[in-house]
Amino acid sequence: MIGFPFCEPPAPEARAASRLAPAPASFRGRAGVLVLRRGADCLYRFAFEPLEGTPGRWEEIDGSRLWPERTEPAMPHVLLTNGRGEKADLVQLCRRFLGTRAQPLSSRHADQWREAFCRALSSPTVQLLLERNRSFQDWEPEASAEWFIGTPSPQEIRWPGAFYPPARTTAPLVRFLLEGCRAGSERPLCPEPMELPVLYEDQDLVVVNKPSGLPSVPGTREVWSAKGLLEKRFGSLFAVHRLDMETSGILLFARNLEAASALGRAFREHRVCKRYRALLEGVPAQSRGTVALPLAADAMDLPRHIVLPPATGGKEAATRFETASVLECADRRVRALVDLFPKTGRTHQLRIHCAHPAGLGCPIEGDSIYGSQGALLLRSGRPLCLHMAEIEFEHPADGRRLHFESEPGYLSLFLKRPAA
């Protein structure tokens, strides 16, 4: 049975098959494999999506070309076949998808989704599932994988040879193509409640130590979230800031509108002092400094973000960093433990500023999006080694300074264990 490729690591069969891929000479871009089985027989099919026309430096990127908009008359009429042999036109599938959105999209975003459906046709996973449904119906898809070959575009972080899920905007087509195949369902994020230690509470605030793997607030696929768990105990809460699902550490919630307004204003005006502690995959060349790389959401592959000049859509982002210590870990690798002080609060800012070659050039350990191990970390149980370790702010009601610290729990996974 093939797994749902967006939230599962590639199966061992697909990883082994990837080493046999007949990549074209000097190829740059995504490669994909689909493992097919019929009885005792096994068949490998490969597809490639080249990366073309990319600039040499991120400062030269034209953001208007990354996410062009496409109106419906410009969409090609391509017939797709799913695993049951049912056929649907690309335009019909796009209309069906846009019609099921919980909230209506603006015309601009609808046009971007039309462009995304057209781009999805070149995705290796989509190409391979289309080929299977058209020509290999008596072969059952067993596993799939995508990985990157060659030098990546300077706006995004890809590691040659690392496995990645297909672009997220291909998911509607992949779901259709897998209908009628023996495929695993999309498992929810955080299916079980997690322990959520409360560090402080009063009539205005709740301060907790959020574990890695728990979303801060509810979303479309989340069964549990920090906000949802706490509301069972404290009643209605207001999120005044968020941590990525994979990021652990100190998280604040307001218990009334007045506190939420005051705290939100303090965050916007940069009156909240924050320190994150991260364990990197290696040791950066500089022990301290500031990374200033403007960021933007990758509309074609959310939740990924990219480096993009402000003139073409990026938002300014800056992070001060200091190396706290250099550790020799249990696996004999040397890693840096760094303190990160974000001057802005962009999504995935710390993760990108650590991983990008124009930043620290050392991804955070456990990062399945920007780290060198990519999708192999999905469902692995390995946490993202990024922890909100310290925060200081004024109490929203009486103005007194509040200060909280929390040590990361991930270090025990890497440090040398004492000899027996």
User: What is the residue-wise DSSP string for 37-63?
Assistant: EETTEEEEEEEEEE--S--SSGGG--G
Say if residue 400 is in the same domain as residue 270.
yes
Asked if residues 59 and 155 have their Cβ atoms less than 8 Å apart, the reply is: no
**In the prediction, which pLDDT does 52 show?**
84
Say if residue 16 is in the same domain as residue 122.
yes
**In the prediction, which pLDDT does 221 show?**
64
The answer to whether residue 350 is domain-embedded is yes
**In the prediction, which pLDDT does 417 show?**
52
For the segment 154-169, the average pLDDT, to the nearest whole number, is 95
Q: Pick from 113, 148, 178: which residue ends a domain? A: 178
As a three-state string, the secondary structure of 70-110 is CCHHHCCCCEEECCCCCEEEHHHHHHHHHHCCCCCCCHHHH
Greater confidence (325 vs 417) lies with 325
The answer to whether residue 193 is domain-embedded is no
Asked if residues 352 and 359 have their Cβ atoms less than 8 Å apart, the reply is: yes
Is it the case that residue 419 has pLDDT exceeding 50? no
- Counts for the chain of helices (H) and strands (E), in that order: 8, 17
Say if residue 105 is in the same domain as residue 206.
no
Q: Read off the pLDDT of residues 123-145 as tens digits, 9 standing for 90 and up.
A: 999 999 999 999 999 999 999 99
31-40, 93-102, 244-253, 281-290: the lowest-pLDDT one: 93-102
Say if residue 132 is in the same domain as residue 162.
yes
Question: How far are the Cα atoms of 193, 218, 228 from residue 222, in angstroms, in the given order?
Answer: 11, 6, 10
| pLDDT over 90 percentage in the chain | 84
Say if residue 168 is in the same domain as residue 246.
no
Is it the case that residue 420 has pLDDT exceeding 50? no
Asked if residues 162 and 147 have their Cβ atoms less than 8 Å apart, the reply is: yes
Residue 218, preceding peptide bond in cis (omega within 30° of 0): no
Is it the case that residue 416 has pLDDT exceeding 80? no
The answer to whether residue 4 is domain-embedded is no
Say if residue 367 is in the same domain as residue 263.
yes
Give catalytic residue positions: 244
Q: Read off the pLDDT of residues 248-269 as tens digits, 9 standing for 90 and up.
A: 999 999 999 999 999 999 999 9
Q: How many domains does the chain have?
A: 2
Q: Pick from 178, 211, 237: which residue ends a domain? A: 178
Chain-centroid distance, C-alpha 200: 30
In the chain, the largest separation of any two C-alpha atoms, in whole Å, equals 72
> pLDDT class for 191, splitting at 50, 70, 90?
low
> Can you tell me the distance from the alpha carbon of 329 to that of 285, in angstroms, rounded to the nearest whole number?
19
Q: Pick from 147, 178, 209: which residue ends a domain? A: 178
User: Mean pLDDT for the chain?
Assistant: 93
Burial 4-38 (b: 16+ CB within 10 A, else e): bbbbbbbbebbbebbeebeeeeebbbbbbbbbbee
4-13, 44-53, 217-226, 313-322: the lowest-pLDDT one: 217-226
Domain boundaries, position 268: 198-413
Asked if residues 327 and 335 have their Cβ atoms less than 8 Å apart, the reply is: yes
Say if residue 275 is in the same domain as residue 147.
no
Say if residue 161 is in the same domain as residue 209.
no
Is it the case that residue 238 has pLDDT exceeding 60? yes
For the segment 26-51, the average pLDDT, to the nearest whole number, is 96
